[in-house]
A and B are shown apart, each in its own frame.
Chain A
Amino acid sequence: MKFLKFLFVGIFFGIVLVKSEAVSWYRIYEMFKFQSFHMYGIIGSAVVLGAISVWVIKKLKVKSIEGKEIDLPAKDKSFTRYILGGTIFGLGWALAGACPGPMYILLGAGVFSMLIVIAAATLGTFAYGVLRSKLPH
């Protein structure tokens, strides 16, 4: 039962991303061509409202559903890994037109060839794990 709420959040997430067209390859292409405000509006409004929400959560010391302190872990300080990893991710994002969330959502939407992308993404993550100690971070 405790997993049910996560199932519902996932379903909600999937519906929102399809209805917003954020799962569309075309919208990602249009975004990187700077030819539409749509994706910038989605991400921008999500982040502005998100920053306000996080600020309120911290300010009011809101407790989680289990009554625990809410702790949003800070990301490790670095530059290299974020710029290099981010660029590699961006190359794949613009080619596949999908990042990890939309990959699963599009599979549910009936795009079964997305399984190839998901399998390759899993392989990419595996390759990172194996090469990790040799990469600059």
Chain B
Amino acid sequence: MDSILQPWPWYVSGPLITSVMVFLIYFGKTFGMSSNLRTFCSIGGAGKYADFFRFDWKAQRWNLTVVLGAIIGGFIAVTFLSDGSAIDLNPQTITDLKELGFENAGETLLPGEIYDWSNALSLKGLLILIVAGFLVGFGTRYAGGCTSGHAITGLSNLQLPSLIAVIGFFIGGLIMTHLLLPLIF
């Protein structure tokens, strides 16, 4: 039981993520979480504004169910399956983050400097969350998939487009982490 409550090593987590993909393939679907954002738009009536949102979203109910499950899974994991151990970050990462003004790196899943309400509702904090979310939502649809659709499913299916997309993910991620985060924080 202890080993379940502690953080899981990569060589356990990676194969379990593969099994999520394989289950969905076996169920006749594909693993892709960002498609749900398009479904939300359709449900909200975005079809009035663009053809892109005129599709039978009811055929996507299975994926919305996966989202609901993921929310429940997140709750179960932090409530019943965690012993509160800190994330075993590289000490250099913790030092680097301190220089940016992030205290207590790794003691929680997310930095309070971004996600605590007091920061999230400040003008700067709100802008950070909105811009970050917008880029993710815009970029994932432009690229036709996100981490699950391209990095896991697409690469497993040896798709060159997915490799290009993943290279793009890294170009963007490296620019943000190395060039922009030091300017923002």
Contact = CB atoms under 8 A, between A and B. Distances in A.
Contact of A11 (B16, B30, B76): B76
A128 B69 CA distance: 27
Contacts of A82: 143-144, 161-162, 164-165, 168
B135 interface: yes
A113 B141 contact: no
Contacts of A111: 109-110, 115
B144 to A, nearest CB: 6
Given A13-B70, A30-B89, A129-B50, A18 B172 contact: no
Given A95-B128, A95-B176, A88 B142 contact: yes
Interface of B: 4, 7-30, 33-34, 36-38, 40-41, 44, 46, 49-50, 52-53, 61-63, 65-78, 81-82, 87, 89-90, 92-93, 96-97, 105-106, 109-111, 114-117, 120, 126, 128-148, 150-162, 164-178, 180-181, 184
Interface of A: 3, 5-33, 35-47, 49-51, 53-54, 57, 62, 64-66, 68, 70, 72-79, 81-101, 103-114, 116-130, 132, 135
* Central interface residue in B36, B146, B168, by most chain A CB within 10 Å: B168
Contacts, number: 497
